[in-house]
Amino acid sequence: MYDPKSSKAVEFIDHGEVLDTLEYARKNSSNAALIDSVLKKARERTGLTHREAMILLDCELEDKNEEIFALARQIKQDFYGNRIVMFAPLYLSNYCVNGCLYCPYHQKNKHIARKKLTQADIVREVTALQDMGHKRLALEAGEDPKMNPLEYILESIKTIYSIKHRNGAIRRVNVNIAATTVEDYSKLREAGIGTYILFQETYHRKSYEELHPTGPKHDYAWHTEAMDRAMEGGIDDVGLGVLFGLELFRYEFAALLMHAEHLEAVHGVGPHTISVPRIRAADDIDPDQFANGISDDQFAKIVACIRIAVPYTGMIVSTRESRECRERVLELGISQISGGSRTSVGGYYEPEVEEEDSRQFEVSDNRSLDDVIKWLIELGHIPSFCTACYREGRTGDRFMALCKSGKILNCCHPNALMTLKEYLMDYASAPTAELGNALIETEINQVPNNKIRALVAEHLVAIQRGDRDFRL
């Protein structure tokens, strides 16, 4: 029985409710009056239920679809402006005891090179990431209690935060590790993590169990209820995501929003971010073996509808997507992207060689971080290395309250300009620096509050002089 407040996965992601939602939306895919009423509610910018959002996703009326895309663009602009927050993944270890059929790190894959970073390796990797200009990382590790116990993850986080190289520092470490206990989540919180990210892969229980035939991840309830345990353990910011291509995207879309509603209903705060990865080729993995791949058009529609349904939730797209695809979805709702990513263990210090390939997936966007920054600026976006909220204690419901009041915008834009300035001073190529400085000069005039504008101008001069790490 569907119950968003239930603690049981099969009740807050009730299969019957997902199917009813899909049926309801399918029947109404050309119901102009209903679509109009959902759009009217969406324009209030307070979000939509999964059923309402599904109506928009399934809409088959061309003129209404144009309205949907226009509204997604507008909400993106109103809530996130032209800022894009940058991050990079850091793979600690690809040892894994699970049997996920879509991932090359599955235990039975004997031809992939298995690697685990030592603390000394981490220093080299993080130094290389700092030399690129990154300030925000997403840690990735396979599930292996012997090779990658929680103590190893905690020690690695401590090492990462301790590395100060030239003007570099990693200021926010987000963590993407396997579902674990409330006690372990408390330890992660104490270690100062930013967001805890765990992709659901698929919400369809039967498919989930087939795709995860062995290992602890086989347990659907344990995995799906992980965010509740994380929040119980004191982690305020959690990041959801599904791997599009494993199951039918309509099912995933409805269930993903039901999961967000569940977190809001039980913990009073929805997900901090939603990621939208699509399955990619990798060692031992052919994406064509999964019959549910989605086209770029469907992908764009999903991004637009998520943006409308959960306006306050950040949305992330990685280098799995090509430059062209990323360009399209940036304006529809994406607020964070990775750049210059390596998806192998140790790949920042030493680029992968074929015979020792440990990549989790093939990257579609292979450009350097500097190229990505330049490209964003040329498109009119402000690349931001901001990590201020987490460091100022603006997390969980405090963060959401600020978002909902619109006050967070007074911080995001100035912080984007100041962190971009740091990047331009310390890491950018001459053409990127020239473009970026011109952008900052124009954008500073967009800070509406006189006092804040003057303060930011002061800080920009100080950054030019060599000072670092200003934030609002």
Report the candidate in 399, 403, 407 with the shortest Cα–Cα distance to residue 452: 407
Q: Which is nearer to ligand SF4, 169 or 411 (CB)?
A: 411
Considering the complex, what minimum distance in angstroms separates the CB of residue 112 from ligand SF4?
10
| Rounded Cα distance, 331 and 327, in Å | 7
Distance in angstroms (rounded) separating the CA atoms of residues 288 and 245: 9
Burial-class residue 166 by CB neighbours within 10 Å (0-12, 13-18, 19+): exposed
Q: How far does Cα 261 stand from its chain's mean position?
A: 18
**Maximum CA extent, the chain:** 62
Least CB distance from residue 59 to ligand SF4, whole Å? 30
Q: Which of 324, 356 has the CB closer to ligand SF4?
A: 356
Q: How do beta strands 168-169 and 164-165 pair?
A: antiparallel
Q: How many other β-carbons are positioned within 10 Å of the β-carbon of residue 447?
A: 18
Residues 6+ apart with CB under 8 A from 319: 337, 338, 339, 341, 343, 363, 364, 365, 366
| Euclidean distance between CA atoms 453 and 463, whole angstroms | 15
Task: Report, in Å, the least distance between residue 391 CB and ligand SF4.
Answer: 8
Name the one residue in this structure whose structure tokens are 């990047």. 423
Least Å from the CB of residue 217 to ligand SF4: 5
Tell the smallest beta-carbon distance from residue 337 to ligand SF4 (Å): 13
| Of 433, 398, 429, 418, the residue nearest 463 (C-alpha) | 418
Q: Is the CB of 313 or the CB of 432 nearer to ligand SF4?
A: 313
> What's the CA gap between 241 and 203, in Å, rounded?
10
Nearer to ligand SF4, 231 or 416 (CB): 416
Where do contacts with ligand SF4 occur on this chain (CB under 6 A)? 85, 96, 98, 100, 103, 105-106, 142-143, 178, 217, 384, 386-389, 408, 411-412, 415
What's the closest the beta carbon of residue 260 comes to ligand SF4, in angstroms?
Answer: 18
For ligand SF4, give the closer residue by CB, 187 or 217: 217
Query: From start to end of 41-142, where are the E strands?
Result: 83-93, 136-141
The rounded Cα 469 to chain-centroid distance in angstroms is 23
- Closest to ligand SF4 by CB, 169 vs 412, is 412
Question: Token digits for 141?
Answer: 């590790």
**Nearest to ligand SF4 of 306, 408 (CB atom):** 408
Q: How far is the CB of 46 from ligand SF4 (least distance, A)?
A: 19
Q: Which is nearer to ligand SF4, 105 or 423 (CB)?
A: 105
* Separation between Cα atoms, residue 291 and residue 242, nearest integer Å: 16
